Amino acid sequence: MPLAVLIALSLHALAAVFWVGTTFTLARTGGIGGERLFRPQMGAATLAVLTGSYVWHLLHEGSFGPSEQVLAVGVVAALIAAGVQGALAGPASRRLRAGHDEAAARSRLALAQRVAAVLLAVTLVCMVIARDV
């Protein structure tokens, strides 16, 4: 396997593990500490999407068979998860850092993480099964 693919896959996996791991943890803990992790999560999400796009370009360009279709479902779920986190957790994190309306902001942050966790679970399952469909 070419070095570029190995590096891109490694960066993709590392970023995705951080993104998914923090999302699952924050979903389970009701978003406690989410205001401190919002920026690193979004950075990891961005890196995961960019490196995943590059890996797709290197390994899947020109075909859209069953494996690519399953991966595409995972891509859409991941993009929606990032959007949910950005739209809901971002403003809630800013409110929490500013000390405003903590109960409502914490609730919104927890909701964002729980929705994103489900979507990222779909993404993870799609990545695992794509090779075997």
Output the six-digit token pair for 127. 């990545």
- Statement: residue 8 has pLDDT above 90: yes
10 by Cβ neighbours in 10 Å (0-12 / 13-18 / 19+) ranks as exposed
Question: What domain range includes position 47?
Answer: 3-132
pLDDT score at 117: 98
DSSP H or E run through 95: helix 90-98
**pLDDT tens digit sequence for 10-19:** 999 999 999 9
Number of domains in the chain: 1
- Statement: residue 61 has pLDDT above 90: no
Tell me how far apart the alpha carbons of residues 20 and 87 are, in angstroms, rounded to a whole number: 17
